[in-house]
Amino acid sequence: MRATMIYGAGDVRVETVPDPVLREPTDALVRVVRSCICGSDLWPYGSMPAGEQGRRIGHEFIGVVEDTGAEVSGLSRGDLVVAPFVWADNTCDFCREGLHTSCRHGGGWGSNGVDGGQGEAVRVPQAQGTLVKLPVAEDSALLPSLLSLSDVFPTGHHCAVTAGVGPRTTVTVIGDGAVGLSAVLAAKRLGAERIILMGRHKDRTDLGREFGATDVVAERGAEGVERVRELTGGDGTHTVLECVGLKPAIETAFGVVRAGGTVSRVGAPQYPDVPADFGVFFRNITLTGGVAPARAYIEELMPDILEGRVQPGKVFDRTVNLDQVPDGYRAMADRTALKVLIQP
């Protein structure tokens, strides 16, 4: 079968790899129907040291179950399923607390002998706990939105939930990437009426408005902070959803949060120190967020997609086949594509 391999920065190849086989009784084999490229795949694509050995990549996919190990129940050959971006048993103490990203028997895709999702098929560890059945056919028009349940929609939702977004909270979302736009959608879904989106790509912020943003601030840095404060009577917003992961974004977050408010960050931080100084302390700001336990939210978010109330799949603005995956990486890296869907 064929799958995407990354060998180093800027070096993504589609190669022939061994067909997956069941190794553990808790495994399933899944034929991939849709996959996609994540903003977080751009970190290794931008900086991974070149090596002789490539590794598999991709952590978001929908597929059809082809085979299951002896200890997998509740899944059968032919089931259409979605996989969250971390696999987990869904039974340990952390999973029962909704923190599947800390599962005692879980792990990530694309390393340590585990397949990546950007290929024709995947061996899924802990399949019974990891995979969630989708009640649609494999040619459903809902697949892009259902694929967003792998990562970006639950990540935006996690950001809004941990920040405490609700009908009475004002919201600033920092970042107009797929996660930022998903955070806008999640905040709207949780009842927020005032959602300020900070982003400077007009086609993306237009989608943000469609998802529920009431204001768009294109300015960055001190100017952007000033603009959000103007829009909020000088105070800033109760909650700030930081969906970038770079130091200027977290600085902006502390600049636009209202006293007593909460900053949640779901952008993987590319900085070692949080700039939380005396001013942040004196204003009683809470910092929360972290990697999203997507598996914990899939059942809760899916009905809104199935019943047409939300269309998070609108973040996909380009579709490629497996051969075109390297082009997809280039397009996302140079920001000509927002999020790239892969149809193997």
Can you give the binding site for Zn ion, defined by CB under 5 A? Answer: 88-89, 92, 95, 103
CB of 84 to Zn ion, least distance (A): 12
Taking the complex as a whole, the smallest distance from the CB of residue 97 to Zn ion amounts, in Å, to 9
Cβ-based nearer residue to Zn ion, 89 or 115? 89
| Residues ≥6 apart with Cβ < 8 Å to 295 | 84, 86, 88, 90, 95, 100, 129, 130, 132
Q: How far is CA 136 from CA 61, 112, 120, 140, 246, in A?
A: 15, 32, 20, 6, 38
Kindly report the backbone phi and psi dihedral angles of residue 64, in degrees, each rounded to the nearest multiple of 5, phi listed first: -110, 130
Rounded least distance, CB 82 to Zn ion, Å: 18
Residue pair 143/167 in contact (Cβ under 8 Å)? The answer is no
What is the edge-to-edge ordering of all strands in the sheet holding 195-198? Answer: 215-217, 195-198, 171-174, 237-242, 257-265, 286-289
**Shortest spacing between CB 70 and Zn ion, in angstroms:** 20
Using Cβ positions, the residue closest to Zn ion within the complex turns out to be 103
Shortest Å distance, C-beta 130 to Zn ion: 10
Nearer to Zn ion, 225 or 292 (CB): 292
Which two structure tokens, joined as six digits, stand for 110? 């694309």
* CA distance linking residue 42 with residue 339, whole number of Å: 11
User: Which CB atom, from 22 or from 95, has the smaller least distance to Zn ion?
Assistant: 95
Least separation, in Å, of the C-beta of 92 and Zn ion? 3
- E-strand ranges in the chain read 2-8, 11-16, 28-36, 55-56, 61-68, 80-83, 86-87, 107-108, 121-124, 132-133, 171-174, 195-198, 215-217, 237-242, 257-265, 286-289, 318-320, 340-342
The nearer residue to Zn ion, 96 or 200, going by C-beta atoms, is 96
Question: CB of residue 158 vs Zn ion: minimum separation in angstroms?
Answer: 17
Q: How far is C-alpha 293 from the geometric centre of its chain's CA atoms?
A: 10
Closest CB 106 distance from Zn ion, rounded Å: 6
Three-state DSSP class for residue 315? helix
Q: Say if CB 190 and CB 238 are below 8 A apart.
A: no
Beta bridge partners of 14: 4
Residue 253: phi, psi to the nearest 5? -55, -45
Which of 103, 302 has the CB closer to Zn ion?
Answer: 103
Which is nearer to Zn ion, 92 or 287 (by Cβ)?
92
**Residue closer to Zn ion (CB basis): 104 or 335:** 104
Question: Of 13 and 96, which CB lies nearer to Zn ion in the complex structure?
Answer: 96
